[in-house]
């Protein structure tokens, strides 16, 4: 399951990440962590102070990974709309859900200020990054002046996270895809809407 050269501490972190996603904090027992990591009895306490300390390391790793993945798309080429579109349409295992979103629904994580902090910070970062891209689009005339960057950012995050829930409830990614396409149609740049309207009415559009 893990590479031969991976250290025991790394195996423990990766095992905890997987178990938190699958079972939640309560279901992630020290025994289950050790079994999945292939680590000996007492290894956890040799590298970490205990389960909460290991869980924090795992949550931080998950948060860092999510941020890096999102930045890889949001910081990529294209117009502001195209970058947001790429983020919404990027490949996801929709039916498995989001590891960060899963943590927000775990009462034991939410109730613990230390465990919750990386989750809250990551979602806050994502909203801020999206809001900045929307404001960039407004400055370039891609979005209208009435568009609010923070509101659009909140809508994007809500669409993605809510889409995971709807997809898992129905057992199909169709609900996720429908939500994303609906948001993109509402967010489409003004020039695209004008062109679409002109084509529909039979009049030539302006470039």
pLDDT digits (tens, 9 = 90+) for 159-192: 999 999 999 999 999 999 999 999 999 999 865 5
Q: Would residue 181 count as lying in a domain?
A: yes
Q: Across the chain, what does the average pLDDT equal?
A: 89
Alpha-carbon distances, residue 141 vs 23, 52, 73, 118 (angstroms) = 46, 48, 22, 35
Predicted confidence at residue 207, as pLDDT, reads 32
Spatial neighbors of 36 by CB under 8 A, at least 6 apart, are 1, 15, 18, 19
In a domain, 121, yes or no: yes
Which pLDDT value is given to residue 41? 80
Let me know if residue 129 belongs to a domain: yes
Q: How far is CA 23 from CA 69, 123, 148, 177, 197, in A?
A: 23, 21, 38, 26, 49
Do the domain assignments include residue 41?
Answer: no
Low-confidence residues of the chain: pLDDT under 50 = 193-207
Percentage of residues of the chain with pLDDT beyond 70: 89
Task: Supply the pLDDT for residue 40.
Answer: 85
Number of folded domains that form the chain: 1
Q: Supply the CATH number for residue 191's domain.
A: 1.10.357.10
> Where in the sequence is the domain holding 177, given as residue range(s)?
59-199
Closest CA to 52 of 78, 30, 68: 30
165, 120, 110, 96 alpha-carbon torsion, rounded to 10°: 30
**Residue with the two structure tokens 């109730």:** 111
């Amino acid at each position: 399951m893990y590479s031969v050269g991976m250290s025991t501490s790394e195996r423990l972190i990766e095992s905890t990440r997987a178990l938190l996603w699958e079972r939640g904090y309560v279901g992630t027992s020290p025994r289950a962590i050790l079994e999945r990591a292939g680590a000996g009895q007492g290894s956890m306490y040799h590298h970490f102070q205990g389960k909460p300390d290991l869980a924090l390391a795992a949550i931080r790793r998950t948060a860092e990974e999510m941020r890096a993945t999102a930045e890889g798309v949001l910081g990529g080429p294209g117009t502001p709309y195209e970058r947001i579109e790429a983020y919404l349409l990027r490949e996801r295992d929709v039916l498995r859900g989001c590891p960060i979103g899963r943590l927000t629904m775990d009462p034991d994580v939410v109730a613990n200020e230390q465990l919750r902090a990386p989750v809250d910070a990551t979602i806050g970062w994502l909203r801020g990054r999206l809001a900045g891209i929307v404001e960039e689009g407004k400055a370039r005339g891609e979005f209208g002046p009435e568009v609010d960057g923070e509101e659009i950012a909140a809508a994007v995050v809500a669409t993605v996270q809510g889409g995971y829930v709807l997809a898992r409830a129905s057992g199909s990614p169709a609900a996720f895809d429908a939500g994303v396409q609906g948001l993109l149609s509402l967010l489409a740049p003004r020039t695209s809407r004008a062109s679409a309207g002109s084509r529909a009415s039979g009049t030539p559009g302006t470039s």
